[in-house]
Structure 1
Amino acid sequence: MKLGDPAFVLPERRARIDAVVANRTRTLTVVMEAFCDPQNVNAVLRTCEAFGVQTLHAVEGPMKPYDRNKKISQNADKWLDVRRWSSTTECLTHLRSEGFAIYATHLGDRSRPMAGLSFAGKVALVFGNEQRGVSEEALALADACYAIPMRGFVQSLNVSVAAAISLAHAVERREAERGRHGDLPEDEAQALRERFYLLAVKQRSRIAKAEAVRDRNARRARTRG
């Protein structure tokens, strides 16, 4: 048997993994365009994982913040697939060729409420740089721009908050328009289950080793005492 075989995974953990994979999708994705702050990157990763978005796209900027911050992402990145791109045009052109509608977060004359957008097909949500917002390249390639309605004096949100609100709405609309959110083909779902089983076994092994070291050190301390 392979290490990632279901037999090596605790039944309750296996059931959880199966439920998560059933709600995974690659037909809703997120593009992070030249983010500066690693905390924002990892908060968006955590949000995507929570909402079942399996693949993200990161357009590199000068700050290159796409490192891991486990305290923020809570290891969400290990369950996801992140593709890196050197330019916005390259990334969005690829997504368009794959049949994605491109919706950019932008407060401007072109913007409309998210409620007016369709989520029946493939959709990529583009979130721009924390200071400058989405680029002119992203605006030129976007099929639509949307803004999150505000009711107070503040007219903008932190990008990770905007991503959470946007994804919550997108998942709700997908379920209403498509009947379901998770939609991986069975071969992709099976491959992902096996990958997650393997990660779970490795995690369990690390915990067991750490507990063994802790117990051994405790015994030594008692012996010395």
Structure 2
Amino acid sequence: MTRAVEEAEFLLPERKARIDRAVANRTRTLTVVMEALCDAQNVNAVLRTCEAFGVQQVHVIEGVMKAFDRNKKISQNADKWLDVRRWERTADCLDHLAGEGFTLYATHLDDGAVPLAELSFADKVALVFGNEHAGVSPEALSRCHARYVIPMLGLVQSLNVSVAAAVSLARAVERRTVERGRHGDLSEVEARALRERFYVQAVKQRSRIARALRDR
């Protein structure tokens, strides 16, 4: 019996069912890139949004600001369920994703940008969000396949980056369901491994459990 199976026995049926449902809706073919965000609270808020929409892997490109630190009050511990990959250079991150077959969409206000609603999510997609003040860097824009905007109906021109990520991911999940037939798309092997990992992470009071396992 594996450790994951042993510890799963300590989960309430409702908790186990919730984990199983979350894994069934997980994907690694939609991802988010945060480039040099200044505010760690925004990073944590985006992580929470990614977890809520089933995005398993997130990429954080470090900038000149203080390195990202988790804030569980804002993220609601979302990062513990995610694969967060850190990068030092924009080029390395985006070239890697392009090499993996991802289409790169950047949020950017210019005449060449298309409305979010016009983007296709039929294939692997990475959404690139830039610095709160400077936006997506020219280096990143040169590597992206399309630029998009979230149409504004009021007087402000843009949204907070965490809100923009939430709106973008909501649209992406909707379009993926239509264009691909479903959002969650992990293979059986990937899903099983992730379920086992989540079972272990979900179990609390590890010392009590360890004692119980030893006393069997």
TM-score bracket for the superposition, by shorter chain length = over 0.9
In 1: Cα distance, 2:70 partner to 2:208 partner: 24
Q: 2:165 aligns with which of 139, 147, 163?
A: 163
Q: Max radius of gyration: which structure?
A: 1
Once residues 180 and 207 of structure 2 are traced to their aligned partners in structure 1, the CA distance between those partners, rounded to angstroms, is 40
User: Of residues 108, 111, 123 in structure 2, which corresponds to 1:109?
Assistant: 111
Q: What amino acid does structure 2 have at the position aligned with 1:109?
A: D
* Equivalent-residue separation in structure 2 for 1:186 and 1:143 (angstroms): 31
Describe the superposition over 1:74-116 as per-residue Cα deviations: whole angstroms up to 9, x where unpaired: 1011000011111111100000000000000000022011121
Match of 1:98 among 80, 94, 100: 100
Indicate whether 1:189 and 2:181 are aligned: no
**CA spacing shift, 1:144–1:207, aligned 2, 3 Å:** farther
Q: Is the 8 A contact 1:35 1:65 kept in 2?
A: no
Q: Paired residues, what number?
A: 207
| Distance (Å, rounded) in 1 between the aligned partners of 2:13 and 2:207 | 17
Match of 2:154 among 148, 152, 155: 152
- DSSP-derived class of the 1:187 partner: helix
In structure 1, stretches of 5+ residues that fail to align are: 210-225
Shift of 1:65: 3.8
In structure 2, relative to structure 1, the CA distance for the partners of 1:74 and 1:207 (3 Å cut) is farther
Q: Percent identity?
A: 71
SS of corresponding position for 1:35: coil
Considering fraction of residues, name the structure with more helix. 1
1:13-28 residue pairs with structure 2 within 5 A?
Answer: 13-28=15-30
SS in structure 2 at match of 1:166: helix
Instruction: Name 1:3's counterpart in structure 2.
Output: 3
Question: What are the superposed Cα offsets for residues 187-210 of structure 1, whole Å, 9 maximum, x if unpaired?
Answer: 010000000000111x2x26989x
User: Structure 2 regions of 5+ residues with no counterpart?
Assistant: 210-216
Deviations 1:13-55 (A, max 9, x none): 1111000000000000000000110100000000000000000
Aligned equivalent of 1:223: none
With normalisation by structure 2, the TM-score equals 0.92
* Corresponding residue of 2:88: 86
SS in 2 for 1:58: strand
- Aligned mates of 1:206, 1:159 — CA distance in 2: 37
Tell me if the contact between 1:41 and 1:65 (Cα under 8 Å) persists in the aligned partners.
no
In structure 2, distance between residues paired with 1:34 and 1:163: 15
User: Aligned AA for 2:157?
Assistant: Q
Q: Is the 8 A contact 1:34 1:61 kept in 2?
A: yes
Q: How far off is 1:10 after superposition? A: 1.9
Q: What does 1:167-178 correspond to in 2, within 5 Å?
A: 167-178=169-180
Q: Give the alignment of 1:5-154 within 5 angstroms.
A: 5=5, 6-154=8-156
Question: What is the TM-score of this pair, normalised by structure 1?
Answer: 0.89
1:3 alignment partner AA: R
